[in-house]
Every structure is written in C-alpha cells, then in structure tokens.
Structure 1
C-alpha cells in the first residue's frame, strides 16, 4: 500500500498532534488512548507524518517477528 492508501484508512479531523503541538490544529487521526487517573479516557491524535511513521514501525515489527501486517489499526487494541 502506498502512503495515500494507508492515510485513507483513518478518520481525519482537526486536532493537535501529540508529537507536533507547535503546528497547532491540523488534520489528525486517533493513534491511541490514555487513561489519566481522574479524567476518564482521552484520545491521542497524530498528524499524517506521525501516522505514516507509526505504520512503518508496525510493518517493520511484523516483518521481524514473522507476523502479518495490516495497516489502519493505530489506536485499536489488536487481539
């Protein structure tokens, strides 16, 4: 899959990227969740650059471990 195909697997909305907050509000996708002790669940959002970087890491990990890589699941619990 190419970059645009991978990015199309995510739902995008304006938000602040967890790694690039200085960019301000940009299109972001959910890449994870955190559970602050007294604040329920909060989404962690990433910009396109971060989503692609994280997908690259997942792909490389799958190749190393002999596992199967399926893009589009950042922020989900895989079973």
Structure 2
C-alpha cells in the first residue's frame, strides 16, 4: 500500500498532533487513548506524518516477529 492508501484507512478530524503541537490545528487521527486519574478518557491524536511513522514501526515489528501486518490499526488495543 502507498502512503495515501494507508492514510485513507483512518478517520481524520482537525486536532493537535501529540508530537507536533507547534503546527497548531491540522488533520489528525486517533493514535491512542490515555486515562488521566481525574479526567476520564482522552484521545491522543497524530498528524499524517506521525501516523505513517507509527505504521512503519508496526510493519517492521510484524516482519521481525513473523506476524501479518495489517495497516490501519494504530491506536487499537492489541488483541
């Protein structure tokens, strides 16, 4: 899959990237969830560059461990 095909697997909304807050509001996708002690649940959002970087890490991990890589799953709980 190419970069755009992978990005198309995600739902994008305006937000602040967790790694690039200086960019301001940009299209972001959910890449995780945190649970602050007194604040319920908070989504962690990433820009397209961060989503692709995280997908690259997932693909490399899958190749190293011999499991099938399935794009579009950054931010999901591991099975």
The runs of at least 4 aligned residues of structure 1 exceeding 2 Å deviation read none
Q: Secondary structure at the match of 1:39?
A: coil
Counterparts of residues 1-79 of structure 1 (less than 5 Å) = 1-79=1-79
In the TM superposition, residue 78 of structure 1 has moved relative to its aligned partner by: 2.8
- The answer for unaligned runs of 5 or more in structure 1 is none
TM-score, structure 1 length as denominator?
0.98
- The answer for unaligned runs of 5 or more in structure 2 is none
- State how far apart, in whole Å, the 1-side matches of 2:47 and 2:40 are: 23
- State how far apart, in whole Å, the 1-side matches of 2:78 and 2:65 are: 16
Spell out, residue by residue over 1:16-55, the C-alpha distance to the aligned partner (whole angstroms, 9 max, x if none).
Answer: 0000000000000000000001100100000000000000
In the TM superposition, residue 76 of structure 1 has moved relative to its aligned partner by: 0.9
CA RMSD between the two structures: 0.5
TM-score, structure 2 length as denominator?
0.98
